Amino acid sequence: MTTQTLSVPDISCGHCKSSIEGAVAPLPGVEKVEVHIEEKTVDLDYDADSTTLDEIVAAIEEQGYDVAGTVA
């Protein structure tokens, strides 16, 4: 299992949270996706053999949000 946090500066409200969580949660191997509105971050637990980070980023960007990068 891979744990990763992404920085998504455009997150601003509950709509953003549900859009992003709704797009990422159905991807294969995604165990957890949790958007933090205040921090503008997305916490992930996923199986990198099923879905790559690039695919998760693409799913978020498809919803109209730019992913700024990963948070250490």
Residue 14: CB minimum distance to Cu ion, A:
7
40 versus 56: smaller Cβ distance to Cu ion? 40
13 versus 72: smaller Cβ distance to Cu ion? 13
d(CA 33, CA 41): 10
- Beta carbons of 62 and 23 less than 8 angstroms apart: yes
13 counts as binding Cu ion under rule CB under 5 A: yes
Residue 4: CB minimum distance to Cu ion, A:
22
Residue 60: CB minimum distance to Cu ion, A:
13
Query: CB atoms < 10 A from the CB of 9, how many?
Result: 12
d(CA 67, CA 23): 14
